[in-house]
Amino acid sequence: MNFSSDTSAPAHPSVLDAMARVNSGIEASYGADKVTARLRARLADVFETDDFDFWMTASGTASNALALSCFCPPIGSVLCHSEAHIQMDERGAVEFFTGGGRLQLLPGAGAKIDYNAFADYLGEVNPSFVHGTPPAALSLTNLTECGMAYTPEEVARFAARAKNGRLAVHMDGARFGNALIHTGATPAEMSWKAGVDVLTLGLTKTGAAGCEVILLFGAAKAKAGELRARAKRAGHMPPKMRFLAAQAEAMLEGGLWLKLAAHANAMAAKLAGVFAERGVELAYDVQGNEVFVRLEQYDLNQLQEDAVIFYADWPGGLSRFVCSWATTEADVEGVRAALGKPTRI
Amino acid sequence: MNFSSDTSAPAHPSVLDAMARVNSGIEASYGADKVTARLRARLADVFETDDFDFWMTASGTASNALALSCFCPPIGSVLCHSEAHIQMDERGAVEFFTGGGRLQLLPGAGAKIDYNAFADYLGEVNPSFVHGTPPAALSLTNLTECGMAYTPEEVARFAARAKNGRLAVHMDGARFGNALIHTGATPAEMSWKAGVDVLTLGLTKTGAAGCEVILLFGAAKAKAGELRARAKRAGHMPPKMRFLAAQAEAMLEGGLWLKLAAHANAMAAKLAGVFAERGVELAYDVQGNEVFVRLEQYDLNQLQEDAVIFYADWPGGLSRFVCSWATTEADVEGVRAALGKPTRI
Amino acid sequence: MNFSSDTSAPAHPSVLDAMARVNSGIEASYGADKVTARLRARLADVFETDDFDFWMTASGTASNALALSCFCPPIGSVLCHSEAHIQMDERGAVEFFTGGGRLQLLPGAGAKIDYNAFADYLGEVNPSFVHGTPPAALSLTNLTECGMAYTPEEVARFAARAKNGRLAVHMDGARFGNALIHTGATPAEMSWKAGVDVLTLGLTKTGAAGCEVILLFGAAKAKAGELRARAKRAGHMPPKMRFLAAQAEAMLEGGLWLKLAAHANAMAAKLAGVFAERGVELAYDVQGNEVFVRLEQYDLNQLQEDAVIFYADWPGGLSRFVCSWATTEADVEGVRAALGKPTRI
Amino acid sequence: MNFSSDTSAPAHPSVLDAMARVNSGIEASYGADKVTARLRARLADVFETDDFDFWMTASGTASNALALSCFCPPIGSVLCHSEAHIQMDERGAVEFFTGGGRLQLLPGAGAKIDYNAFADYLGEVNPSFVHGTPPAALSLTNLTECGMAYTPEEVARFAARAKNGRLAVHMDGARFGNALIHTGATPAEMSWKAGVDVLTLGLTKTGAAGCEVILLFGAAKAKAGELRARAKRAGHMPPKMRFLAAQAEAMLEGGLWLKLAAHANAMAAKLAGVFAERGVELAYDVQGNEVFVRLEQYDLNQLQEDAVIFYADWPGGLSRFVCSWATTEADVEGVRAALGKPTRI
- As a whole number of Å, the end-to-end CA separation of chain B is 24
Are C125 and C95 within 8 A, CB to CB? Answer: no
The pLDDT-based confidence of B341 (bands split at 50, 70, 90) is confident
The pLDDT-based confidence of A343 (bands split at 50, 70, 90) is low
Mean pLDDT to the nearest integer, B48-76: 98
Please report the ipTM that was assigned to this predicted complex.
Answer: 0.96
Which CATH number does A257-340 carry?
A: 3.90.1150.10
At a CB cut-off of 8 Å and minimum separation 6, what does A90 contact? A61, A64, A65, B232, B233, C131
CA of D141 vs chain A CAs: smallest distance (Å): 27
CATH 3.90.1150.10 placement within chain C: 257-340
Quick check: helix, strand or coil at residue B191? coil
* Angle, in degrees to the nearest 10, between helices C224-233 and C60-69: 130
Q: Mean pLDDT across chain B, nearest whole number? A: 96
Are D211 and D122 within 8 A, CB to CB? Answer: no
Q: Which of D130, D230, D233 sits opposite A229 (nearest CB)?
A: D130
Contacts of D5 in chain C (CB under 8 A): 29, 239
A123 interface with C at CB cutoff 8 Å? no
pLDDT at A254: 97
Q: What percent of chain B stands above pLDDT 90? A: 95
d(CA C248, CA C35): 10
The pLDDT-based confidence of D344 (bands split at 50, 70, 90) is low
The answer to whether the Cα torsion of C218, C220, C226, C230 is positive or negative is negative
In C233-317, beta strands by DSSP E: 281-282, 290-294, 311-314
d(CA A209, CA A211): 7
d(CA C214, CA C219): 15
Taking only Cα atoms into account, the Rg of chain D, rounded to an integer number of angstroms, comes to 20
Element (H, E) at B314: strand B311-314
Contacts of C228 in chain B (CB under 8 A): 130
Q: Which of A91, A99, A133 sits opposite C133 (nearest CB)?
A: A91
pLDDT at D286: 98
- Is the Cβ pair B234, A93 closer than 8 Å? yes
Q: What is the pLDDT of residues B171-184, one digit of tens each?
A: 999 999 999 999 99
pLDDT at A345: 52
The pLDDT-based confidence of B30 (bands split at 50, 70, 90) is confident
Q: Please state the φ and ψ torsions of residue C274, each to the nearest 5 degrees.
A: -60, -45
Q: Count CA atoms closer than 13 A to A325's CA, side-chain side.
A: 25
CATH 3.40.640.10 placement within chain D: 13-254
| CB–CB contacts below 8 A, C to D | 161
- Is the Cβ pair B95, D100 closer than 8 Å? yes
* Beta pairing, strands D212-217 & D52-57: antiparallel
- Is the Cβ pair C100, B99 closer than 8 Å? yes
At a CB cut-off of 8 Å and minimum separation 6, what does A54 contact? A40, A43, A213, A214, A215, A216
CB atoms within 10 A of CB B341: 11
* Beta pairing, strands A135-141 & A168-173: parallel
D96 interface with A at CB cutoff 8 Å? no
The pLDDT-based confidence of B54 (bands split at 50, 70, 90) is very high
A222 by Cβ neighbours in 10 Å (0-12 / 13-18 / 19+) ranks as exposed
Class of domain B13-254: alpha beta
Contacts of C75 in chain A (CB under 8 A): 91-92
- Is the Cβ pair B235, A4 closer than 8 Å? no
Q: Please state the φ and ψ torsions of residue D258, each to the nearest 5 degrees.
A: -75, -35
Are A91 and C133 within 8 A, CB to CB? Answer: yes
**Looking at the predicted structure, is the pLDDT value of residue A344 above 60?**
no
Q: What is the pLDDT of residues A123-145, one digit of tens each?
A: 999 999 999 999 999 999 999 99
* Angle, in degrees to the nearest 10, between helices A297-305 and A329-340: 130
Q: What is the pLDDT of residues A142-153, one digit of tens each?
A: 999 999 999 999
Contacts of B16 in chain A (CB under 8 A): 16, 19-20, 23
Quick check: helix, strand or coil at residue C328? coil
The pLDDT-based confidence of A110 (bands split at 50, 70, 90) is very high
Q: Which of B75, B229, B233 sits opposite C233 (nearest CB)?
A: B75
A133 interface with C at CB cutoff 8 Å? yes
The pLDDT-based confidence of B345 (bands split at 50, 70, 90) is low
pLDDT at C345: 52
d(CA B25, CA A326): 9
- As a whole number of Å, the end-to-end CA separation of chain C is 24
A336 by Cβ neighbours in 10 Å (0-12 / 13-18 / 19+) ranks as middle
Q: Mean pLDDT across chain D, nearest whole number? A: 96
CA of B209 vs chain A CAs: smallest distance (Å): 6
**Looking at the predicted structure, is the pLDDT value of residue B343 above 70?**
no
The reported pTM is 0.97
pLDDT at C161: 98
One-character DSSP codes across B4-46: S-TTSS---HHHHHHHHHT-SS---STT-SHHHHHHHHHHHHH
Q: Mean pLDDT across chain A, nearest whole number? A: 96
Name residue D65's amino acid: A
Are C1 and C306 within 8 A, CB to CB? Answer: yes
Q: Count CA atoms closer than 13 A to B193's CA, side-chain side.
A: 12
Mean pLDDT to the nearest integer, D28-45: 94
D77 interface with B at CB cutoff 8 Å? yes
| A window 193-212, beta carbon within 8 A of B | 204-205, 209-210
Query: Is the CATH number 3.40.50.300 carried by domain C13-253?
Result: no
3-class DSSP string for C50-64: CCEEEEEECCHHHHH
List, in sequence order, every residue forming a beta bridge with A139; answer none if it has no partner. A170
* Beta pairing, strands C135-141 & A168-173: unpaired
* Cis ω before A105 (30° cut-off from 0): no
CA of C55 vs chain B CAs: smallest distance (Å): 13
Mean pLDDT by 10 residues, chain C (345 residues): 93 97 91 93 98 97 98 98 97 98 98 98 94 97 98 98 97 98 98 98 98 98 98 96 97 98 98 95 97 95 94 93 98 95 65
Contacts of B99 in chain D (CB under 8 A): 96, 100
* Beta pairing, strands B77-81 & B102-106: parallel
At a CB cut-off of 8 Å and minimum separation 6, what does C252 contact? C39, C42, C43, C46
C99 interface with B at CB cutoff 8 Å? yes
The pLDDT-based confidence of D334 (bands split at 50, 70, 90) is very high
Contacts of C229 in chain B (CB under 8 A): 75, 130
B166 interface with C at CB cutoff 8 Å? no
CA of D117 vs chain B CAs: smallest distance (Å): 15
Q: What percent of chain A stands above pLDDT 70? A: 99
Are A118 and A60 within 8 A, CB to CB? Answer: no
The pLDDT-based confidence of D330 (bands split at 50, 70, 90) is very high
Q: What is the pLDDT of residues D308-322, one digit of tens each?
A: 999 998 988 999 999
Q: What is the pLDDT of residues B191-219, one digit of tens each?
A: 999 999 999 999 999 999 999 999 999 99
**Inter-CA distances, A53 with A156, A224, C304, Å:** 21, 6, 55
CA of B136 vs chain A CAs: smallest distance (Å): 21
Nearest CA in chain B to C99: B99
**Looking at the predicted structure, is the pLDDT value of residue A326 above 70?**
yes
The answer to whether the Cα torsion of C28, C29, C32, C33 is positive or negative is positive
Q: Please state the φ and ψ torsions of residue D333, each to the nearest 5 degrees.
A: -60, -35
- As a whole number of Å, the end-to-end CA separation of chain D is 24
pLDDT at D225: 97
**Inter-CA distances, B258 with B10, B194, B214, Å:** 17, 20, 18
In chain A, beta strands by DSSP E: 52-57, 77-81, 102-106, 135-141, 168-173, 198-202, 212-217, 281-282, 290-294, 311-314, 318-322
3-class DSSP string for B44-103: HHHHCCCCEEEEEECCHHHHHHHHHHCCCCCCCEEEEECCCHHHHCCCCHHHHHCCCCEE
- Is the Cβ pair B75, D91 closer than 8 Å? yes
Are B123 and B63 within 8 A, CB to CB? Answer: no
One-character DSSP codes across D257-301: HHHHHHHHHHHHHHHHHHHHHTTPEESS---SSEEEEE--HHHHH
Mean pLDDT to the nearest integer, D261-280: 97
**Inter-CA distances, B219 with B70, B136, B158, C128, Å:** 13, 16, 18, 20
One-character DSSP codes across C162-216: HHHTT-EEEEEETTHHHHHHHHT--HHHHTGGGT-SEEEEE-TTTT-SS-EEEEE
C140 interface with D at CB cutoff 8 Å? no
pLDDT at A309: 95
CA of C204 vs chain B CAs: smallest distance (Å): 26
Subunits next to B (3 or more Cβ pairs <8 Å) are A, C, D
Spatial CA neighbour of C86 closest among C121, C138, C163 = C138
**Looking at the predicted structure, is the pLDDT value of residue B167 above 70?**
yes
- As a whole number of Å, the end-to-end CA separation of chain A is 24
Are C81 and C111 within 8 A, CB to CB? Answer: yes
One-character DSSP codes across A194-254: GT-SEEEEE-TTTT-SS-EEEEEEGGGGGGHHHHHHHHHHTT---S-THHHHHHHHHHHGG
Q: What percent of chain D stands above pLDDT 70? A: 99
CB atoms within 10 A of CB A109: 11
Contacts of C77 in chain A (CB under 8 A): 92
